[in-house]
Amino acid sequence: MRIAELVDDAAQLSKYYHTAAAICHYELNRLEEAADYYEQALEHDPDMLKSFDGLVNALNGQSDWDRLEEIYRARLERMGDDADPKARAHLWDQLGELLLHRLERTGDATEAFEEAQKLDPGDRQRAEQLATVYSAEPKRYFAKAVAVHGDLLELNPYRIESYQALRKLYTEAKKPDESWCACQALAVLKNAEPDEESFFKKHRTREPAAATDPFTAELWAHNIVHPMQDGLLSDIFSEITPAVIATGSKELASFGLSASDKRDAEKDEADLARTLHYASGVMGIQLPDVYYQPKEPGGLSFIFANPPAIGLGKGALAGGPSKALAFVAGRHLSYLHAGHYLRMLVPTGSGLRAWLLAAIKTAVGQFPIPQSLASSVEQHLSAFEEHLTGPQRERLGSHVQKLLAAAPELDLKRWVGGVDLTADRAGFILSNDLEIATAMIKASPEESAGVSQKERLKELHTYSVSGAYLTLRRKIGIAIGE
């Protein structure tokens, strides 16, 4: 310390104070004096992390919890909002642990953990810590407890503890429909307690969802469409759909059909035809013309005519359980939602990309086009001129400008996967049965969707207890107790 008195440089002074602190700390075991020297080192060089760590250790050794809390808060304030989020989250975590286990201030500890979670939302251990804290006071933290268990299920869709916790939260809050959905998830995962299994079976319907109100545009956007879908891409594909249909479709006769072969889906003898009629009403999607195709071995298919139509093959005409048919019908019709049809009509990634690049080029004429797609893009631009109205082209240009301003990666594979997951959601909603929906996905070929079967099942289980799904059940009138 006598040497330090001869030094003016702040960084050098900090090193001397740190050395003195370390000697007091580790050699002389004078912890209070060590803490004072560590603080003086930090005063001269606030970024000397080893002095901060030493100070924390010294205060821990003295059990000086109040002073340690002050140190953590001062450090966080000094770091500011521009500091590394994970570093700040780590400090909030340390403060939370101190407040919870040493100072026994649960409320303040919870706030600290929440601050850390905002900065580092993917930390599973912290989310589990918050879930434990919230569960201790469910009335006070009901909404937060539900949200954190939703986060945990996003990280692990088969986390039984979260389904159990949600069931308990909803039951205590007297929310029967939400509780039933949690019981359903537990039953499908073979982890329901006897009372949960009984409650699930008691309110499980025999028929598909008896909706009293149809899907609205708002429900589609906020409660059904999967987040993997880029909404601007869907908007662009929606605007160019007429041009794609006009150039990519065939005459009805080329499918061996004529207008006289059309079926009345509402009154048809085929169960799936009537289910399609029901599904279109619930989903708010106009049902295209429906045709029998008994020589086709498959089930439902799109007939890529202009306008589009639906074909019922041999498999579809065979019928089946009503809930299974509702899942199939809902999933199929979801591809007729705005912008989704191109997923079926243009099945290749390069084909979709060519149409998207053509759409972008309508707004940005100098947008670079790969040589391999140049010819296709020129043809598509001509199709826009011929088959899109002036207002359609204006809206298309507006969507493109928004897309480019957002600077996306233009991940069409991800968009396709999102459309397919949205289709699973629609089918599940109409079937109103997670077990049936799960079985239908398991029975489908692996290549039938843009995401793996395993991922589809995970996404559906998470959705089955999500806020988006629970809200939708109330909105369309299928919630228990409504």
- For residue 82, the model assigns a pLDDT of 85
Q: Please indicate, yes or no, if residue 178 is contained in any of the structural domains.
A: no
**Burial class of residue 324, CB neighbours in 10 A (0-12, 13-18, 19+):** buried
123-143 mean pLDDT: 90
Provide the β-strand partners of residue 293.
Answer: 313
442-461 mean pLDDT: 94
Let me know whether 311 and 394 are in one domain: yes
Q: Which residue has the tokens 């359903």?
A: 184
- For residue 2, the model assigns a pLDDT of 86
Q: Which domain holds residue 258?
A: 209-482
pLDDT digits (tens, 9 = 90+) for 279-313: 999 999 999 999 999 888 888 999 999 999 999 99
Strands (E) in 206-288, as ranges, are: 262-263
- For residue 319, the model assigns a pLDDT of 85
Q: Please indicate, yes or no, if residue 334 is contained in any of the structural domains.
A: yes
Let me know whether 244 and 125 are in one domain: no
- With contact defined as beta carbons under 8 Å apart, do 306 and 246 qualify? yes
Q: Please indicate, yes or no, if residue 154 is contained in any of the structural domains.
A: no
Which whole-number Å values give the CA distances from 53 to 104, 138, 157, in the listed order? 23, 36, 38
Q: Please indicate, yes or no, if residue 176 is contained in any of the structural domains.
A: no
pLDDT digits (tens, 9 = 90+) for 344-373: 999 899 999 999 999 999 988 899 999 999
Let me know whether 134 and 236 are in one domain: no
Boundary of a domain, candidates 96, 118, 144: 144
Which whole-number Å values give the CA distances from 203 to 177, 195, 200, 428, in the listed order? 9, 13, 6, 17
Q: Please indicate, yes or no, if residue 180 is contained in any of the structural domains.
A: no
Let me know whether 335 and 248 are in one domain: yes
Report how many domains make up the chain: 2
Most confident of 11-25, 112-126, 136-150, 187-201: 187-201
373-379 mean pLDDT: 95
Residue 482 scores a pLDDT above 70: no
Q: What are phi and psi of 285, to 5 degrees?
A: -120, 125
pLDDT digits (tens, 9 = 90+) for 259-274: 888 999 999 999 999 9
E strand or H helix at 105: none
Q: Please indicate, yes or no, if residue 155 is contained in any of the structural domains.
A: no
CA distance 159 to 354: 42
DSSP state of 250: B
Boundary of a domain, candidates 144, 159, 194: 144
pLDDT band at 390 (very low <50, low <70, confident <90, very high): very high
Nearest Cα neighbor of 426 from 383, 476, 378 is 476
- With contact defined as beta carbons under 8 Å apart, do 254 and 232 qualify? no
pTM beyond 0.85: the answer is yes
Percent share of the chain, pLDDT over 70: 100
Boundary of a domain, candidates 126, 144, 162: 144
pLDDT digits (tens, 9 = 90+) for 228-248: 999 999 999 999 999 999 999
DSSP codes, 23-61:
IIIIIS--HHHHHHHHHHHHHH-TT-HHHHHHHHHHHHH
pLDDT band at 162 (very low <50, low <70, confident <90, very high): very high
- With contact defined as beta carbons under 8 Å apart, do 145 and 138 qualify? yes
Q: Please indicate, yes or no, if residue 63 is contained in any of the structural domains.
A: yes
Let me know whether 38 and 119 are in one domain: yes
Two structure tokens written together for 262: 């059309």
Q: Please indicate, yes or no, if residue 282 is contained in any of the structural domains.
A: yes
Residue 437 scores a pLDDT above 80: yes
Let me know whether 96 and 223 are in one domain: no
Residue 187 scores a pLDDT above 80: yes
Which whole-number Å values give the CA distances from 416 to 37, 291, 343, 372, 449, in the listed order? 61, 27, 6, 22, 8
E strand or H helix at 226: none
Two structure tokens written together for 385: 């001129």
CA distance 84 to 90: 10
Question: Domain with 120 in it: what CATH number?
Answer: 1.25.40.10
DSSP β-ladder status, 300-303 and 309-313: antiparallel
Let me know whether 366 and 481 are in one domain: yes
75-84 mean pLDDT: 88
Let me know whether 350 and 435 are in one domain: yes
- For residue 228, the model assigns a pLDDT of 94
Let me know whether 396 and 470 are in one domain: yes
Let me know whether 120 and 264 are in one domain: no
Let me know whether 104 and 243 are in one domain: no
The overall average pLDDT reported for the chain is 94
pLDDT digits (tens, 9 = 90+) for 52-78: 999 999 999 999 999 999 999 999 998
Let me know whether 122 and 263 are in one domain: no
Instruction: State the alpha helices, DSSP H only, in 63-193.
Output: 65-79, 85-97, 106-119, 124-136, 142-155, 160-172, 176-188
Two structure tokens written together for 193: 């307690």
